[in-house]
């Protein structure tokens, strides 16, 4: 298949999924409100001590983003599985892994990108400095797509399984841990006066690896789930 045809297939899936996401705004708002509520509750429970809040802020924001991203994984393939669209994708002439890329990108734009945009505002509750907020945005821009790509594998493996949400958590949480460590570590290193380049470089490496292997693994998992 030509490169233009491949990109056309990805754009078609991306446009379709974004249109469906806009029609189901309640799901999008649920993910965003969950992130906001979880982050906002911590300052209330910890207290007004600025040094403590500043220390805990990066970890809290990253854990909340991770949980919010995982909360939205259930709808990644569920509707396509229910209405038969997934079966059409399996027999389409386009490679399934390319269609998966379009679906994961749509998932990140609807569920991950809003978290990246709102995170610096929520960081003000933890007295996060400007430089820390900039690195927070950079780490989330690199890390949240990795969460979506890894989560797609878990969502595909548990498709149609009763209690799939719990199984997805068990499958993907161990793989999320390195992203969480280096994402929060980048912000902490910046706020401590150390450079965050090493952490961000590792996140970029995770993103490249996930882009290379996750679509193929997700496509394989979808075929297994549909058999």
Residue 7: the pLDDT is 76
Residue 206: the pLDDT is 95
Phi, psi (rounded to 5 degrees) for 85? -65, -35
> Which residues lie below 8 Å from residue 2, measured CB to CB, with a gap of 6+?
none
pLDDT tens digit sequence for 133-176: 999 999 999 999 999 999 999 888 888 776 666 788 888 899 99
Spatial separation of the C-alpha atoms in residues 133 and 66, rounded to whole Å: 17
> Which residues lie below 8 Å from residue 4, measured CB to CB, with a gap of 6+?
none
Taking a C-beta distance cutoff of 8 angstroms, is the pair 17, 106 a contact? yes
Residue 6: the pLDDT is 67
Residue 185: the pLDDT is 92
Q: Return the domain boundaries, the chain.
A: 3-226
- The SS3 of residue 162 is coil
pLDDT along the chain (227 residues), means of 10: 65 85 81 91 83 87 91 81 81 84 90 92 88 92 94 86 74 92 92 86 95 92 82
Spatial separation of the C-alpha atoms in residues 119 and 178, rounded to whole Å: 20
Q: Give, in order, the Cα–Cα distances in Å from 176 to each of 122, 169, 196, 210.
A: 22, 10, 19, 12
Residue 4: the pLDDT is 59
């Amino acid at each position: 298949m030509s490169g233009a045809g491949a990109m056309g297939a990805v754009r078609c899936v991306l446009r379709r999924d974004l249109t469906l996401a806009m029609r189901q705004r309640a799901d999008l708002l649920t993910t965003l409100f969950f992130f906001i509520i979880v982050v906002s509750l911590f300052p209330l429970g910890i207290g007004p001590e600025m040094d403590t809040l500043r220390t805990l802020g990066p970890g809290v924001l990253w854990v909340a983003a991770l949980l919010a991203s995982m909360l939205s994984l259930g709808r990644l393939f569920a509707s396509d599985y229910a209405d038969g669209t997934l079966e059409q994708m399996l027999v389409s002439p386009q490679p399934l892994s390319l269609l998966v890329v379009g679906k994961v990108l749509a998932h990140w734009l609807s569920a991950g990108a809003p978290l990246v945009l709102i995170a610096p505002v929520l960081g003000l509750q933890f007295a996060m400095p400007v430089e820390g907020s900039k690195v927070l945005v950079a780490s989330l821009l690199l890390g949240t797509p990795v969460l979506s790509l890894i989560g797609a594998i878990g969502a595909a493996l548990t498709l149609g399984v009763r209690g799939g949400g719990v199984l997805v958590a068990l499958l993907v949480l161990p793989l999320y841990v390195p992203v969480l460590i280096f994402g929060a570590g980048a912000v902490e290193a910046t706020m401590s006066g150390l450079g965050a380049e090493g952490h961000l470089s590792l996140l970029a490496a995770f993103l490249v690896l996930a882009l290379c292997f996750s679509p193929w693994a997700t496509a394989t998992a979808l075929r297994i789930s549909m058999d």
